[in-house]
Structure 1
Amino acid sequence: MLRHRGPRTVLTTVKELDAFPKIPESYSETSARGGAISICTFLLIFILVISEVGFFLDTRLKFKYQVDVEYNEKVWLNFDITVASDCRLIGADVVDVTGQAWVFTEEIKEKQVNFELSPEESFLRDSLLKKKAVLLDEDDGTKISEIAIKHGFNATQIYFQAEKDSSLGPFDACRFYGNVLVNKVSGNFHIVAGKSIPLRGGHAHLSFLANNVNYNFSHRINHFSFGDMKVGFINVLDGDEHLTNVQGATFQYYINAVATHISSRRFNTNTYQFSVSEQSTLTDNSMGIAGIFFKYSFSPIAVEIQEQSMPLGRFFVRLCGIVGGIFATSHIINILIGIVSDYTKQKRTDLSSKTNAATLKTATLLSDSAPVNNSVS
């Protein structure tokens, strides 16, 4: 006769699907070896989890390269340059390959200053030059560059000192600073002898008025950049200084600018980074115009820099992999050590048994071969 068991409950069904059976504590055995491995396991898990959390909280920069299609846009040219000559003897303007020339009377600001830096400016320049020196290092330079981009390094620390400069005369230098909107084509920003005057289809510099005047093109580039000034780049020309005693000196900077879009946690901006090569020559006044020339061009390649962090799901997967992997590996190591230990003990036991058996056998043989003394009374 069959006994009716009744309907199975959901809890009973779930219990039968348990993939993690519980072993009673009375069936488990602890050992000093297992305790030592457990301590090492938990310590290693703790160290790796802390490291993984730090990696998750940190961000990384991803670089993408593409063709620059924004060729019709205008670009801001930002500059702050101090020249060791009187402002009445020199002038600055821009000309590009389209034949367009501008004499910026309002955008390019001029200010009579002392060529020697104030203590505050000297401190800012020295700190900037130290950062640029670190950038030349392959490892530390990469770290400094990433930090500057992530935290939005302020490239205008020295630039804004031009507005605050309240030094007293007599002055021996002229400071040119401002922001000029230029075409996105090759061009030339220059500071030369003589004031510039607009002409039909171009401009001219009245340098012949300065032929008998001592002017000096020793200069300091406090800031030079394209695009947004408040970005995370340490511009390659910022803080550079060139001194000369030659009146007919010409300094030329050949600049190649690359459009760069930065998308970080702190800011999003469109700016430019650039490379530069320099050349200085002595110019005969009858053969050319002495001065400072920034000849720039724009690369057809654009760079996109994105600050990215690890997705939360990937973080949890990596944590599970660390914890589970270490536990599984430590369990395997514990089993292997146990096997080796048991094998070694078994070998020692067998060796001891064989030694004892041989000793017993030897003793038996010796007792059998010993003479027997029978006494007759």
Structure 2
Amino acid sequence: MNLDIVVAMPCDALRVNVQDAAGDRILASDLLDKQQTSWAAWNRELNGVTSGGGREYQTLNEEDLSRLMEQEADAHVGHALGEAKRSYKRKFPKGPKLKRGEKADSCRIYGSLEGNKVQGDFHITARGHGYFEFGEHLSHDAFNFSHMVTELSFGPHYPSLLNPLDKTISVTPARFFKFQYYLSVVPTIYTRAGIVDPYNHVLPDPTTIRPSERGSTIFTNQYAATSQSHEVPDPQYHIPGIFFKYNIEPILLVVSEERGSLLALLVRLVNVLAGVVVAGGWLFQISTWAMENLKKRRGKSEGVLNGKVTGDEDE
């Protein structure tokens, strides 16, 4: 899991943990990097107006057209491979610089975590809430779980690929608020022709793939995200915070870019031409039949109107 998030609370007031279905608990606070920052600085320097007129950080399910088009572009193999190649081994970017005298009222949490490939729950809570610990109890007046997600992805870190929760913002004026995200993670392979054999169901293996093919194949994960956020009525029985519930789906999505051979192209052209000829023959027969019937009807009508007779009566 690759994470880069800013929460509008000081770092010493936050606790980050991961609990998966296997029963393993990861103290993510000790594994991820934390940086004191300013909520106003992030909005001022990184949440500017885009070319489409919207903000750089947008609310989930309320994205503008430019963001949706960018997500659609990442679904194409060529674009995904190019973005992954440009961002390979790229580290997390530096945060904005604070102005002189600007208060560091927020915490940036970023880094990568390794865990089991099972269902799990990644959550950010306040100190002393959610897990028992010794120490001073955090005042409820300090609660503010408004957050900005710069990066949330699974698998290798490709920051240029736009995921559903990347560059999203959620703000709440309520102290006791629970942000809950449900993520459905699907392992995905982006590859070019020749890497995957669809007839024998042979997929590339990241441990045995040749060096010449590594630039044409990436192993990553996609996910769909939904949110269900609400105000917490009583913090004694409900825990406020930010919760990411993820589930690894038991399927594999292969996005392959294939180019047919010259022979296949010729066969398709012949099929198209044959279809045109057959359709033209049918149209010719139908038009001929219609013209003959029309002539017969006109002949009968002229015989009655002009007093013409046929057969022996003409003699």
TM above 0.5, yes or no, is yes
1:220 shift after superposition: 1.0
1:162 shift after superposition: 4.4
Q: Which amino acid letter does the alignment assign opposite residue 247 of structure 2? A: S
Aligned partner of residue 217 in structure 1, secondary structure: coil
8 Å Cα contact 1:134/1:144 also seen in 2:
no
1:181 shift after superposition: 0.2
Distance 1:162 1:78, change over 3 A: same
Q: Which amino acid letter does the alignment assign opposite residue 190 of structure 1? A: H
Aligned residues: percent identity? 24
Deviations along 1:100-133, whole A, 9 cap, x unmatched?
1111355311111111326652359845769964
The match for 2:148 is 220
Aligned partner of residue 210 in structure 1, secondary structure: coil
1:173 shift after superposition: 0.8
Distance 1:288 1:192, change over 3 A: same
The match for 1:299 is 249
What does 1:160-199 align with in structure 2 at a 5 Å threshold?
162-168=93-99, 169-194=102-127
Aligned partner of residue 262 in structure 1, secondary structure: strand
Query: How many Å separate the matches in 1 of 2:56 and 2:246?
Result: 27
Query: How many Å separate the matches in 1 of 2:34 and 2:186?
Result: 28
Deviations along 1:183-209, whole A, 9 cap, x unmatched?
111111111001799xxxxx6456971
Structure (1 or 2) with the larger CA radius of gyration: 1
Query: How many Å separate the matches in 2 of 1:275 and 1:155?
Result: 24
Distance 1:233 1:311, change over 3 A: farther
Unaligned runs of 5+ in 2: 194-214, 285-315
8 Å Cα contact 1:193/1:291 also seen in 2:
yes
Instruction: Give the structure with the higher percent helix.
Output: 1
Deviations along 1:144-200, whole A, 9 cap, x unmatched?
63264353368979x956435433442121111110001111111111001799xxx
Query: How many Å separate the matches in 1 of 2:139 and 2:70?
Result: 49
What CA RMSD, in Å, does the superposition of the two structures yield over aligned residues? 4.0
8 Å Cα contact 1:148/1:232 also seen in 2:
no
What does 1:1-377 align with in structure 2 at a 5 Å threshold?
77-116=1-40, 117=42, 121-123=46-48, 126=55, 133-134=64-65, 142=72, 145-146=75-76, 148-149=79-80, 151-152=82-83, 162-168=93-99, 169-194=102-127, 204=132, 209-230=137-158, 233-264=161-192, 266-283=215-232, 284-315=234-265, 321=270
Aligned partner of residue 16 in structure 2, secondary structure: strand
8 Å Cα contact 1:88/1:195 also seen in 2:
no
Unaligned runs of 5+ in 1: 1-76, 198-202, 337-377
Query: How many Å separate the matches in 2 of 1:128 and 1:309?
Result: 37
Query: How many Å separate the matches in 2 of 1:156 and 1:194?
Result: 35
Query: How many Å separate the matches in 1 of 2:135 and 2:250?
Result: 36
